[in-house]
Structure 1
Amino acid sequence: MSNSSKITFEYLKRTLIFKFDAGTSRGVLKTKDVFWIKAFHSDRPEIIGWGEAAPLVKLSLDDRPDFEEVLRKTLDQMSQLHFGSGEENVLNQLRELIPFELPSIRFALETAILDLSEGGDRKILGDGFYKGVKAIAINGLIWMGQKDFMLDQIKEKLEQGFDCIKMKIGAIDFQQELDLLDYIRTRFSKDQITLRVDANGAFSEKDALFKLQQLATYELHSIEQPIAAGNWETMKQLCAATPLPIALDEELIGVKNKAELLDEIQPQHIILKPTLLGGILETKEWIQLAERRKIGWWMTSALESNIGLNAIAQLADSLDATVPQGLGTGKLYQNNLKSPLEIEEGKIHYNPQVDWEQPS
């Protein structure tokens, strides 16, 4: 990418349709709007870099009614500027240009420009994953719903060869959720199947520790966000007293002083969603700070289409992620973009023989 040439940015909007009602403790999802960012040089419009801005409703800092208008204005402004070459220059420049309050837009631009700089072939970061020689272990995600629906998903994931299962909890009767964990644990030991749960902040502060004690009897790997984000003092006490490792998720959103949060709460793990945290550079900083403090980490997608999912998988690859990541969301939609991303035996891999569908 030439130092002197401008990049033109445009976007396409797609409403993704879930294959089923995706239940979380914040409600049921049926559709998801995403904005695909297109980056190209006007003298070579056939070479295109793609990124994705996909705010999560009720969660992202940039979940706002005027998002599309803000996106359009931002892309118009970015199309007037010159971008430096090289990953580090691009990421630092975008941090200066795109406000912290627009995390999904910053991530989309990082991805689009890095893709363009590599020739527009959907290569963002890393090497082994993109070339198809390295697969990334992922967890099989169990969505909330009636007990039978959740049990069907569990059976399906086990049949598909997942050895790490993540179950969303906090929406149905707690005893029924324990029964589902019992179903898995009576059939598979913790050495055979790793179990994670995600409460999405659903537990009350007064009964959280008691519920953690009950959950711990099933030898779980971790629980994500047991109580709602924002109460550092209670979360700190929980992390100190818990019989079960706690992973912070929503707690990280909108936090500028990363070290302060990690030092105050001292969690066992953190979970990183680049779309919600402001992209590649912010995610890397969280990881550096966590590793210095011996805090575990993994990455998860935030219901992006395959464009965003591809970028996150390549980021995980570039950082030598070892534990199973949360990158199994590509199969959620009826109308996702066809891509080389494939899931087999509990791993996501990139099949270079498969072409990307052109966004439209």
Structure 2
Amino acid sequence: MPLKTSYQKYILNFKFDAGTSRGVLKEKETWIIKVWDTSRPEVFGLGECGPLKKLSIDDREDLGERLEECLKNLDGMDLPTSEEEIFRIAGELAGADLPAARFGMETALLDLLNGGKRVIFNNGFARSEMRIPINGLIWMGHMEAMLLQISNKVDAGFDCIKMKIGSLDFEKECDILDYVRRKYYQSDITLRVDANGAFKIHEAMDKLKALSKYRLHSIEQPIAAGQPDEMARLCQNTPVDIALDEELIGVYGKDAKQQLLEKIRPQYIILKPTLVGGIYSCKEWIEIAESMGIGWWLTSALESNIGLNAVCQMSPYLNAQGYQGLGTGQLYHNNIPSPLKIEAGHICYDNEESWDFANLGL
């Protein structure tokens, strides 16, 4: 029987002012995609299209109209019968310039293919058989507020901390890292930092050298994306492992991905499905990275629990190792209630809990 689709805008409200080097976030606009078979409308799949303002290539005024065009082409189709067919159809309909829509369509169709139960991939995470270790995210703010965030995360059982840097005075940020390293042994706490491209080219190496004494796991995107020669030089000489993040946005096709990683040779890449074009695109990045000995991990991109659930289920599907960046579900006053739970620095799926779509009118 033919498919039917719908979509709706949903505004997520932060519990606090979330500071980044690109400004303070107070709310997050997202779009929820629904797909069902006309013969069984009570069974439906959900996906999320949630670009990030000032960052995603599909942060555009006409996103609603473009999303509607994509979904109209799904209307009347038969439900694809395999993951591969879903990846192909979503890629063809969304193209290269709507990565978040591609991820949302992939997710909604996979959900429906698996019975409309929010099971994107039937694996140990979805069956409540495993937990995923995650980093505790420390948002930018006054020094005292950041120190309190760190203490709270450690008390909550996190042993990997990711701190956003780049908006405070650099010496103050180093003071915070020094405090952490004096209070917690390296064997007890893994430290990651994320500069969001805030370092200037002429100062980046000196700052990396200064950061190296805090025994960091890695630094994300030390300089702004789009400077491959400079980033390659940093990655070749850095005393702190570098992870590419924003650098991957807008890079499509296996050849282009291969060329970028061969040019820059980072130690890690960070995959945000909403930003890089969905599940299939992540699979391509991983295949190339692993062939070159480059590490990787998954990170959510401030999605609601609908999108976050999909990224979590991707983790075992893609055989992700180590700490993933999946702790963003507790950021909002009005997130979609779900079985996702954070316990002692891990995220898990509690099958005894239910989804609640009252906020969406479903």
TM-score interval (norm. to shorter): over 0.9
Once residues 38 and 102 of structure 1 are traced to their aligned partners in structure 2, the CA distance between those partners, rounded to angstroms, is 17
Partner of 2:88: 92
Residue 8 of structure 1 and its aligned partner are, at CA, apart by 0.8
Match of 1:293 in 2: 292
In structure 1, what is the equivalent of residue 75 of structure 2? Answer: 79
Q: CA deviation at 1:155?
A: 0.9
Partner of 2:219: 223
Deviations 1:139-179 (A, max 9, x none): 00000111111111111101101000000000001011001
Q: Distance in 2 between matches of 1:183 and 1:262?
A: 35
Q: Is the partner of 2:149 in helix, strand or coil?
A: helix
Aligned to 2:30: 34
SS in 1 for 2:85: helix
The equivalent residue for 1:340 is: 339
Report the equivalent of 1:187. Answer: 183
Q: Does 1:268 align with 2:267?
A: yes
Given that residues 70 and 93 in structure 2 are in contact (C-alpha distance below 8 angstroms), is that contact kept between their aligned partners in structure 1? no
Name the aligned partner's letter for residue 38 of structure 1.
K
Deviation at 1:310, TM superposition (A): 0.3
Answer yes or no: is the 8 Å Cα contact 1:126–1:317 preserved in 2.
Answer: no
Report how far residue 215 of structure 1 moved: 0.5
- Measured after TM superposition, the shift of residue 64 of structure 1 is 0.2
For 1:190 and 1:85, locate their aligned partners in 2 and report how far apart those are by CA, in whole Å: 48
State the AA in 1 paired with 2:331.
Answer: L
Structure 2: distance between partners of 1:211 and 1:199: 11
Match of 2:166 among 165, 170, 192: 170
What aligned pairs does 1:2-151 form with structure 2 within 5 A after superposition? 5-151=1-147
Q: After superposition, what is the alpha-carbon deviation per residue over 1:226-264, rounded to whole angstroms, capped at 9, x for unaligned?
A: 000000000000000100000000000001210000000
Matched, 1:280 2:279: yes
Which residue of 2 is the match for residue 246 of structure 1?
242
Give the conservation status (yes or no) of the 8 Å contact 2:73–2:93: no
* 2:233 aligned partner, one-letter code: Q
- In the TM superposition, what is the alpha-carbon distance from 1:82 to its structure 2 partner? 3.5
Q: Please give the residue correspondences for 1:317-332 in structure 2 after superposition, counting only pairs within 5 Å.
A: 317-332=316-331
CA distance in 1, matches of 2:325, 2:234: 24
How far off its partner does 1:83 sit? Answer: 4.3
2:151 matched to which residue of 1?
155
Q: CA deviation at 1:6?
A: 2.3
Give distance in 2, aligned partners of 1:135 and 1:84.
30
Q: Distance between the aligned counterparts of 1:71 and 1:150, measured in 2? A: 38
Within a 5 Å distance, the mapping from 1:341-356 to structure 2 comes to 341-356=340-355
CA distance in 2, matches of 1:219, 1:80: 55
Return the alpha-carbon distance in structure 1 between the equivalents of residues 335 and 303 of structure 2: 9
Contact 1:83 1:93 in 2 (8 A): no
Deviates more, 1:65-74 or 1:214-223: 65-74
Contact 2:245 2:269 in 1 (8 A): yes
Instruction: Give the superposition deviation at 1:214.
Output: 0.5
Distance 1:328 1:320 in 2: 18
Aligned partners of 1:20, 1:352: CA distance in 2, in Å? 29
Instruction: Report the alpha carbon displacement of residue 93 of structure 1 after superposing the two structures with TM.
Output: 2.2
Unaligned runs of 5+ in 1: none
Amino acid at match of 1:307: I
- 1: distance between equivalents of 2:184 and 2:292? 32
Tell me if the contact between 1:36 and 1:50 (Cα under 8 Å) persists in the aligned partners. yes
Could you tell me how far 1:61 is from its partner in structure 2?
A: 1.1
Deviation at 1:7, TM superposition (A): 1.4
* In structure 1, C-alpha distance between the alignment counterparts of 2:186 and 2:90, rounded to whole Å: 43
Q: Is the 8 A contact 1:126 1:315 kept in 2?
A: no
Query: Tell me, what secondary structure is at the counterpart of 2:25?
Result: strand
Contact 2:134–2:346 under 8 Å retained in 1: yes
* Counterparts of 2:30 and 2:234, CA distance in 1: 36
Q: Aligned residues: percent identity? A: 54
Give the C-alpha shift of residue 42 in structure 1.
Answer: 1.0
TM-score by length of 1: 0.97
- What is the CA-CA distance between 1:126 and the residue it aligns to? 4.4
Given the alignment of the two structures, is residue 255 of structure 1 paired with residue 251 of structure 2, yes or no? yes
Question: Equivalent residue of 2:125, what SS?
Answer: helix
- Tell me the equivalent position of 2:307: 308
The secondary structure found in structure 2 opposite 1:110 is helix
Amino acid at match of 1:18: F
Q: For the residues of structure 1 that align with 2:110 and 2:2, how far apart are their CA atoms?
A: 14
Task: Give the number of aligned pairs.
Answer: 356
RMSD: 0.9
Q: Distance in 2 between matches of 1:303 and 1:109?
A: 18
Uncovered stretches (5+) of structure 2, i.e. residues with no partner: none
Q: What CA distance in whole angstroms lies between the structure 2 residues aligned with 1:320 and 1:188?
A: 30
